[in-house]
């Protein structure tokens, strides 16, 4: 995979201005040193780019059986908390200090009947240091003092604030919920945004790829980004502008993680917890829990923190790329300033042939296969819907070109679709299918670097119906020529007859034959095995060779004699004829006897 070169002169200044030397034990206060009643501060951005401080008091430690389930319970207060309406979304990763030593990252908000003030859970710093320095040959100890442990206290983690839960009925229970990193989206609207967050029921729609390829396609269900625990920010600002050279990566500053950048921007904001040289760690909780990752690390600007009844949130925007997030773990995210992330260039051009309007979209997508369905579908729907400014009938021609460092050559394909209800469905679904088939192929990583898609649309229904098929005889012998005639009718217009011939193989042994006329690709017949592919080149050739829907195929079928217990047809010979600009639909077939050779 190519590595996108970041030409940001300010990176050197950025790295050098925030002087943080290799960490020493004295820089931190570990879980074993935490005591009830300790006083400290937290740092976060409430508005603008100015880091604000808030007060923190340690209430105790929740000591769960698993180390990564241990948390420090703190009470928070001060002007920054009051202005935020409590602990707000986007505050995750806010560094917490006691006596000038870093304790960990604020990662969850909580409610407890014994304390009505805002309380939160802090992810201990030793868990996060595992992310920032994976080369350690030992883990830092993570155990609490017996005196600081909140005994007989149960921690219940919820997805959302508890709301109607009666806290008075559960005095020994702390209900916590993540301070989610709110997802910020610009450039998407309507159903494109709905598909991004909640996915698309693909099976309800036509899937372009025939069964012989779908059976070899291993992709996650397109359930949307909400299935990763991400929530859409109620409001998103425009992409933050400004020079990255002026950014100082210091604990408490807002940072962003991007999934898409360009004409469509998708990302999340949180807070930087700690930095060592050009290595950073933040959030205090996972983003997508991706493990190893390659996501753009960006600047972020906070316009303001909005108070809300259910959960306050930071209104902000992600900015310029300044590095890469390379780790996405339970305890937080980590990455390197100045390091480029692997990205895929997506170019979409939509031309409305009826109005003459053409719109171009340039987007960089993260190279993460399990997100590719949602990202491509949402981008494709937005490009088509916003250009046409309508949803409805029409004919759409599309040209795809996909390149990759691990591909023997670019994959190119042209196709045409028609719909009386929603023509925008087909190009994004086919593109997402092809890309996912490449990314999840069984042979080698295609290392996709760019995807180009040109879409041409008209409201007219440019279609031809296959009305009738006839052959010249009712009985044939092996080796004979079959003369056929196909009647086609243009939608609401004239008829025409296409004549041709197809030869029966000399060595064909069967009782009968079937001639079929159809448009586009077909499914595997019961007497056929799926396509046998040996490498990525084979797969690409099969994909490029699939007939498009402007192709009329006349194919000869015969029973497969090797299927002993079931009579299954198999394709024997075919003839293809192209009708550019028209979708052929309908299917006709006729059968005839085949006399055995004497």
What domains does the chain contain, in order, with CATH numbers? 23-178 (2.40.10.10), 183-209+223-341 (2.40.10), 344-458 (no CATH), 463-594 (no CATH)
What pLDDT is recorded for position 131? Answer: 87
Report phi then psi at 21, rounded to 5.
-80, 170
What pLDDT is recorded for position 147? Answer: 63
What pLDDT is recorded for position 191? Answer: 92
Q: What tokens does 67 get?
A: 């180390």
pLDDT in tens, the chain (598 residues): 443 433 333 333 343 333 333 456 788 999 889 999 999 999 999 998 899 999 999 998 887 655 567 899 999 999 988 888 888 888 899 999 999 999 999 988 887 766 667 888 999 998 888 887 652 333 444 444 546 666 666 666 666 566 545 555 566 676 666 666 778 999 999 899 999 999 887 654 444 445 545 444 445 566 888 888 788 876 665 655 555 556 788 999 999 999 999 999 999 999 999 998 889 999 988 899 888 899 999 999 888 877 765 667 778 888 999 999 999 998 899 999 999 999 999 999 999 999 999 999 999 999 999 899 999 999 999 999 999 999 999 999 999 999 999 999 999 999 999 999 999 989 998 999 899 889 988 899 999 999 999 999 999 999 999 999 999 999 999 999 999 999 999 998 889 999 999 999 999 989 999 999 999 988 888 888 877 889 999 999 999 998 999 999 999 999 988 776 667 899 999 999 999 999 999 999 999 999 876 5
- Cα separation of 44 and 22, whole Å? 23
**What are residue 453's DSSP bridge partners?**
348, 400
DSSP codes joined into one string, 444-468: ----EEEEEEEEEEESS--EEEEEE
The DSSP element (H or E) to which 530 belongs, if any, is none
- Cα separation of 521 and 549, whole Å? 7
User: pTM value?
Assistant: 0.85
- Which residues are within 8 A (CB) of 515 and not within 5 positions of it... i.e. 6 or more apart? 469, 471, 482, 484, 502, 554, 555, 556, 557, 589, 590, 591, 592
What pLDDT is recorded for position 327? Answer: 92
Rg for the chain (alpha carbons), in Å? 30
Question: Where does residue 523 rank: exposed (0-12), middle (13-18), buried (19+ CB within 10 A)?
Answer: exposed
- Cα separation of 46 and 434, whole Å? 44
- Cα separation of 119 and 99, whole Å? 20
Q: At what angle do helices 536-545 and 426-439 cross, to 10 degrees?
A: 160
Assess contact for 15 and 337: CB atoms under 8 A. Answer: yes
- Cα separation of 323 and 320, whole Å? 9
Q: Using the 8-state DSSP alphabet, how is residue 64 labeled?
A: -
Strands (DSSP E) contained in 26-161 are 39-45, 51-62, 71-77, 94-98, 101-112, 115-124, 154-157
Assess contact for 366 and 296: CB atoms under 8 A. Answer: yes
What pLDDT is recorded for position 44? Answer: 94
- Which residues are within 8 A (CB) of 87 and not within 5 positions of it... i.e. 6 or more apart? 76, 81, 106, 109, 118, 120, 179, 312
Closest C-alpha to 167, from 235, 119, 222, 223:
119
């Amino acid at each position: 995979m190519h590595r996108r070169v970041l030409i940001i002169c300010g990176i050197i200044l950025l790295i050098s201005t925030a002087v943080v030397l290799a960490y020493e034990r004295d820089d931190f206060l570990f879980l074993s040193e935490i005591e009830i009643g300790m006083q400290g501060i937290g740092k976060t951005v409430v508005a603008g780019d100015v880091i604000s401080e808030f007060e923190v008091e340690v209430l105790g430690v929740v000591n769960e059986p698993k180390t990564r389930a241990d948390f420090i319970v703190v009470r928070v207060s001060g002007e920054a908390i009051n202005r935020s309406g409590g602990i707000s979304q986007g505050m995750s990763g806010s560094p917490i200090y006691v006596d000038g030593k870093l304790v960990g990252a604020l990662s969850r908000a909580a409610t407890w009947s014994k304390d009505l003030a805002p309380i939160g859970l802090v992810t201990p710093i030793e868990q996060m240091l595992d992310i920032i320095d994976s080369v350690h040959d030992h883990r830092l100890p993570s155990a609490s003092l017996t005196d600081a442990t909140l005994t007989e206290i149960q921690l219940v983690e919820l997805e959302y604030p508890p709301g109607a839960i009666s806290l008075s009925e559960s005095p020994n229970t702390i209900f916590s919920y993540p301070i989610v990193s709110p997802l910020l989206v610009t450039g998407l609207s309507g159903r494109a945004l709905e598909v991004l967050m909640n996915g698309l029921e693909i099976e309800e729609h036509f899937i372009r790829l025939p069964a012989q390829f779908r059976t070899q396609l291993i992709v996650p269900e397109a359930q949307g980004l909400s299935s990763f625990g991400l929530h859409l920010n109620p409001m998103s600002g425009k992409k933050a502008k400004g020079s990255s050279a002026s950014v100082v990566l210091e604990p408490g500053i807002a940072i962003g993680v991007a999934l898409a950048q360009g004409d469509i921007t998708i990302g999340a904001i949180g807070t930087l917890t700690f930095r060592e040289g050009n290595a950073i760690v933040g959030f205090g909780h996972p983003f997508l829990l991706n493990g190893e990752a390659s996501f753009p690390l960006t600047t972020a600007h906070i316009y303001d923190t909005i108070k809300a009844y259910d959960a306050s949130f930071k209104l902000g925007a992600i900015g310029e790329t300044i590095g890469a997030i390379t780790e996405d773990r339970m305890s937080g995210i980590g990455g390197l300033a100045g390091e480029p992330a692997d990205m895929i260039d997506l170019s979409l051009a939509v031309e409305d042939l009826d109005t003459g309007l053409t719109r171009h979209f340039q987007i960089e997508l993260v190279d993460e296969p399990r997100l590719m369905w949602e990202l491509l579908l949402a981008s494709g729907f937005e490009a088509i819907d916003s250009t046409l400014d309508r949803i409805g009938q029409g004919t759409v021609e599309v040209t795809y070109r996909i390149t990759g460092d691990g591909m023997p050559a670019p994959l190119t394909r042209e196709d045409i679709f028609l719909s009386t209800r929603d023509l925008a469905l087909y190009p994004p679904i086919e593109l997402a299918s092809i890309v996912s088939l490449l990314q999840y192929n069984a042979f080698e990583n295609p290392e996709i670097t760019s995807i180009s898609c040109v879409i041409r649309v008209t409201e007219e229904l440019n279609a031809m119906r296959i009305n009738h098929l006839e052959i010249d005889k009712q009985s044939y012998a092996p080796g004979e020529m079959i003369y056929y005639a196909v009647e086609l009718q243009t939608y609401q217009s004239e008829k025409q007859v296409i004549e041709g011939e197809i030869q029966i193989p000399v060595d064909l042994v069967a009782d009968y034959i079937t001639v079929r006329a159809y448009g586009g690709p077909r499914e595997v017949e019961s007497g056929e095995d799926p396509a046998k592919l040996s490498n990525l080149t084979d797969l690409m050739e099969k994909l490029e060779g699939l007939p498009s829907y402007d192709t009329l195929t006349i194919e000869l079928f015969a029973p497969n004699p090797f299927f002993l217990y079931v009579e299954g047809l198999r394709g024997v010979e075919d003839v293809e004829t192209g009708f550019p600009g028209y979708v052929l639909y309908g299917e006709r077939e006729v059968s005839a006897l085949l006399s055995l050779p004497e």
